[in-house]
Amino acid sequence: MASNPEFVQYVCDQMRGAGNITYKKMFGEYGIYCNGKIIGLVCDNQFFLKPTEGGKKVLGAVIEEPPYEGAKPYFKIDEIDDRELLEKAAKATYDELPEPKPKKRKSG
């Protein structure tokens, strides 16, 4: 089951205080970005945050689950109505993740 755009927008709105939160459709689901870094996924109308030590400290007890078959486990976030928690977790995750690699220009 694909996620609906309204759910994705709600999740993003809940994290606005963490930075520039955007999303992109990817393989029928959605990648969630903070200031250009991918920090999570929305799959089947569920939010998954990339696992980091900082995110775990903010979230406390976490459920780790793959967002889709064959994926590595992410933190499954059920408390999407807690704006303050989501913002802190998104910011902590963003701070720990490496900068995205620059895209290679195609020659020719």
Kindly tell me if the per-residue pLDDT of 12 is higher than 60: yes
Give the pLDDT band of residue 101 (cuts 50, 70, 90). Answer: confident
Instruction: Label the pairing between strands 29-34 and 37-43.
Output: antiparallel
Residue 54 falls within a domain, yes or no?
Answer: yes
Closest C-alpha to 64, from 53, 54, 72, 76? 76
* pLDDT of res. 108: 57
Section 4-33 average pLDDT = 95
Residue 101 falls within a domain, yes or no?
Answer: no
Q: Return the exposure string of 15-39: e unless at least 16 CB atoms fall within 10 Å of the residue's CB, then b.
A: beebbebebeeeeebbbbbbeebbb
Query: What CATH number has the domain bearing residue 58?
Result: 3.30.1460.30
Residue 34 falls within a domain, yes or no?
Answer: yes
What is the total count of domains within the chain?
A: 1
Residues spanned by the domain of 80: 5-96
Q: What is the pLDDT of residues 39-80, one digit of tens each?
A: 999 999 999 999 999 999 999 999 999 999 999 999 999 999
* Sign of the C-alpha dihedral computed for residues 42, 48, 54 and 58 taken in this order: positive
Residue 18 falls within a domain, yes or no?
Answer: yes
Contact by Cβ (8 Å): 100, 66: no
Residue 51 falls within a domain, yes or no?
Answer: yes
